[in-house]
Amino acid sequence: MVKKLCYVATLPAAVHAFLRPHITAAAGRYEVTVVCDGVDRHLLKGLPARLIFLPVERKPSPLHDLRTLFRLYRLFRRERFDIVHSLMPKTGLLAMLAGWLAGIPVRIHTFTGQVWVTSHGLGRHSLRWIDKLIGSLTTCPLVDGHSQRDFLVAQKVLSATKAQVIGAGSVCGVDANRFKPDTAARTLVRSELGIKPDARLILYVGRLNRDKGMLDLAAAFCKVTHEIPEAELLLVGAEEEISFGQMQEICGVARERLHFVNFTSHPERYMAAADVFCLPSYREGFNMTLIEAAACGVPAVATRIYGIVDAVAENETGLLCPVGDIDALSQSLIKLLQDNQLRLSLGNAAQRRTLDMFSGDAITYEMIKLYDELTLKKNAENFKG
C-alpha cells in the first residue's frame, strides 16, 4: 500500500520556494497532499500533489484558528496520513496539534527561525512557549541549521535527542542550474536599473523591516559612499515596517545611488548583477538568500548570529560583524568593495562551498531518506506492538 504524506504550510509562496523539490521527489514514493492558503495558488501549478486550500491567518485569530484546527483534525482523521510535515509557525502549531489529536504516526515540523528572539517580556515568553509546544507535539522536529538547533536546545525549546538537521542545513538547498554566475543577466539588470557597468553594487534581498537590519544598512551605506563614490545599493523585496522612502531619507545625499525592486520570483537575476550581498539581520534561521547569492559567486557581509554562521564561513566566503554595529558593517562593505582580489577570492570560495554543502538535490535526497526511515521505524514498532 502506498504511504500517504501531507505537507502543511501557511502560504503557496512558501510551498513553491521551499517544498517544491521535496514534493516532486516524494511523489514517486508517496501519495502527496499539500494543504495551504489559496492566495497565489497559481504558484503551485504543475505540482504533483493533491491540493487542499484552507484559509490560514498569519496573525493570531483565536476563532479562525480553532476552525482551522478542527478542519485539519477532520482531514487527518479521514485521510489517515502516515506523515504530516509542517512549515512556518502558525501552521506548525495547528498541524502538529491536529496531527497529535488524530493519531498521525509521524509528525514533522521544520523550524526556520524564531520571532521571539528580538521580542521582550510576555510576548517573548508566549512565542517561545508556542515553539516549545510545537516541538513537544512532533515525533521528529527538524531545524534548518546546526547553530539554530544548538540555540533551541540551549533554550530548552527542543530536546537534543530529538532535534535533527538535514545535511549541512537549509530547508531545500540551492538549485545550481538556476543560481549561478550569469554575465548576460548582470548586464541586463544593470541596464534596466540605470546602474553603470563599473559600479560597485551591494545587494539585499528580503523583506524591508527592522529585524533584517534595514535601518543599519541605510546608515552604513551612507558611510560607504563617502569612501567609494561608485558604490550603489539595490534592495529587492516587499516593504514591511520600513519603506523605501525611509531608506532614502536616511541615505540623504546618497539617495540617488539607492535602487528598489519589489518582490520578485527571480532573485537570481539580481544576485548575478551584484558584487556583494549584505544581510545585517538581528535574527535568522538558516538564510537561503545567502547561499543562493553564494552560488552566483557573490560574497557576503552579514551579522555574526546563529543561522547566518551556518550559511557564511567567516573570512572564507564572506565577512561577519556584530549585530547593530554600523561602523563595522560599513568597514566590512568598504573592504570588500575596494579589494577586488579579496572579493573575487571569497566569491569563488562561496560558490564552491555552496555546491559542495548545500546542493538542492542532496538535501532532497536526505529528506526523502528520512521519511522512509521514519515510516519503516513506525511500522516496526507497530508490528512489535
The answer as to whether 63 is a domain residue is yes
The answer as to whether 25 is a domain residue is yes
Task: Give the pLDDT score at 67.
Answer: 95
Read off the pLDDT band of 336 (50, 70, 90): very high
Stretch 375-381: mean pLDDT, rounded? Answer: 81
Read off the pLDDT band of 152 (50, 70, 90): very high
Q: Are residues 37 and 165 in the same domain?
A: yes
pLDDT digit string, tens, across residues 221-256: 999 999 999 999 999 999 999 999 999 999 998 999
Q: 205, 273 in Cβ contact below 8 A?
A: no
The answer as to whether 124 is a domain residue is yes
Burial 300-330 (b: 16+ CB within 10 A, else e): bbbbebbbbbbbbbeeebbbbbebebbebbb
Read off the pLDDT band of 383 (50, 70, 90): low
CATH number of the domain encompassing residue 95: 3.40.50.2000
Q: Name the DSSP class of 207.
A: -
Instruction: Give the number of other Cβ atoms within 10 Å of residue 141's Cβ.
Output: 25
Stretch 343-366: mean pLDDT, rounded? Answer: 97
Q: Are residues 9 and 152 in the same domain?
A: yes
Read off the pLDDT band of 265 (50, 70, 90): confident
In this structure, what C-alpha cell is assigned to residue 181? 554566475
Stretch 159-165: mean pLDDT, rounded? Answer: 96
Task: Give the pLDDT score at 366.
Answer: 97
Rounded Cα gap, residues 150 and 44, in angstroms:
34
Q: Are residues 238 and 130 in the same domain?
A: no
Read off the pLDDT band of 369 (50, 70, 90): very high
Q: Are residues 199 and 347 in the same domain?
A: yes
Sign of CA dihedral 165, 322, 312, 273: positive
Q: 37, 13 in Cβ contact below 8 A?
A: no
The answer as to whether 131 is a domain residue is yes
Q: What's the angle, vertex CA 286, arms to CA 280 and CA 290, rounded to 5?
A: 55
Stretch 73-87: mean pLDDT, rounded? Answer: 98
The answer as to whether 339 is a domain residue is yes
In this structure, what C-alpha cell is assigned to residue 146? 546546526
The answer as to whether 243 is a domain residue is yes
Q: Are residues 274 and 129 in the same domain?
A: no
Q: Are residues 221 and 305 in the same domain?
A: yes
Percent of the chain past pLDDT 70, that is, above it, reads: 99
The angle, 0 to 180 degrees and rounded to 10, between the axes of the packed helices 89-102 and 62-79 is 50
Q: Are residues 147 and 251 in the same domain?
A: no
Number of separate domains in the chain: 2
What are residue 44's phi and psi, to 5 degrees? -95, 10
Stretch 62-71: mean pLDDT, rounded? Answer: 94
Q: Are residues 345 and 215 in the same domain?
A: yes
Q: Is the pTM of this model over 0.85?
A: yes
Among the residue ranges 12-21, 137-146, 297-306, 371-380, the one predicted with the least confidence is: 371-380
Sign of CA dihedral 23, 25, 28, 30: negative
CA distances from residue 241 to 13, 68, 209, 259, 323 in whole angstroms, order as listed: 20, 28, 5, 18, 19
For residue 227, give its domain range.
Answer: 183-357
Q: Are residues 161 and 209 in the same domain?
A: no
Sign of CA dihedral 306, 99, 22, 29: positive
Q: Are residues 94 and 59 in the same domain?
A: yes
In this structure, what C-alpha cell is assigned to residue 252? 540623504
Task: Give the pLDDT score at 384.
Answer: 66
Read off the pLDDT band of 379 (50, 70, 90): confident
Q: Are residues 341 and 368 in the same domain?
A: no
Instruction: Tell which wins on pLDDT, 265 or 142.
Output: 142
The angle, 0 to 180 degrees and rounded to 10, between the axes of the packed helices 326-338 and 214-227 is 50
Round the average pLDDT of the chain to a whole number and report it.
Answer: 95
The answer as to whether 178 is a domain residue is no
Q: Are residues 208 and 110 in the same domain?
A: no
Stretch 355-369: mean pLDDT, rounded? Answer: 96
Stretch 330-339: mean pLDDT, rounded? Answer: 98
Among the residue ranges 189-193, 249-253, 309-313, the one predicted with the least confidence is: 249-253
Task: Give the pLDDT score at 61.
Answer: 85
Cell 563599473, located at residue: 198
pLDDT digit string, tens, across residues 206-220: 999 999 999 999 999
pLDDT digit string, tens, across residues 88-121: 999 999 999 999 999 999 999 999 989 899 888 9
Read off the pLDDT band of 58 (50, 70, 90): confident
The gap between the terminal CA atoms of the chain, to the nearest Å, is 20
